[in-house]
Amino acid sequence: MALFPLVAPALRPGRRADRGARPARATVTKEAVDGARARDADGLAVASFVLGLLGLLVFNLLFGPAAVVMAVIALARSTERRGRALLGLALGVADLVVLAVVVTAHGVVAWGS
C-alpha cells in the first residue's frame, strides 16, 4: 500500500472502482470553439496558398478551383492569415487563367505539344 500513496482509492490495486460514479463532464467554452474555428480558418488559408502555388505547375484544373474555394472559406471565417488567404485566392485565379490560355492555345487540356 505504501507504493501507491497518491493514487486514488478506486485506482489502487485490488480495489474496484465505484460503478455508480459518473465521469466528470467536459465543458466546452465559446472561446475554445472560436479558437478551433480560427485555427481551421488559418489552416484553410495556408492550404489555399500551397494549392495555388502547386496549381501553377501541375493539375491546375484541380488545384486552382480548390485554392479559390479554400481561400473564400478562410476569408469568410475571418482568418488571422488574411494575406495568405488573399494570395491563395489570387494564385487560384491565376491557375484558372493559365488553364484558359493553355486550352485556347492548344485546344486541349494538356501541357504537351
With CA atoms as reference, report the closest residue to 54 among 65, 43, 44: 65
Amino acid 68: pLDDT: 96
Summarize the confidence of residues 78-88 as an average pLDDT: 91
Tell me what percent of the residues of the chain surpass a pLDDT of 90.
Answer: 39
Amino acid 76: pLDDT: 92
The yes-or-no verdict on residue 73 having pLDDT over 70 is yes
Q: Other CB atoms closer than 10 Å to residue 39's CB: what's the count?
A: 12
Amino acid 40: pLDDT: 80
The yes-or-no verdict on residue 88 having pLDDT over 70 is yes
Greater pLDDT, 2 or 27: 27
Q: How far is CA 85 from CA 15, 41, 73, 92, 99, in A?
A: 56, 9, 9, 10, 21
